Amino acid sequence: MNANVHLVKTLLKYTFGLVPIVAGLDKFTNILTDWSQYISEGFAEMLPFEPSTFMMIVGVIEIIAGILVLTKTQIGAYVVSAWLVAIALTLLFSWSYVDVAVRDLVMAIAAFSLAKLSEGNPIK
């Protein structure tokens, strides 16, 4: 395998493995930001529990997705890509944090690229 391709795959693998884990853990501490601010008021009113509880559930999903990228890169990268698209669409539909939505769509493309690079050639 080309050394540059291997380097890109490795960088993407650890980026999309570690960042979701860190972001997921932060859903429990809110050190980086108050994550519940990203929930629209309408959606928050529909929740049967507090928005902070919802964000903790999201955090668990993100931690699992990150671990999946690190252990089963191709599958995990597809999961992270889909997750980022879902987040971006949610933000676009509420027309809040559109800049974050665009950033998440770009990251989804990068995660999808990792999945495609990982087809048939697992990172060792």
- If we measure between CA atoms, which residue out of 59, 71, 87 comes closest to residue 17? 71
Q: pTM of this prediction?
A: 0.87
What per-residue confidence (pLDDT) applies to 1?
61
- In whole angstroms, how far apart are CA 72 and each of 9, 51, 60? 13, 31, 17
Q: pLDDT for 38-62, tens place per residue? A: 888 888 899 999 999 999 999 999 9
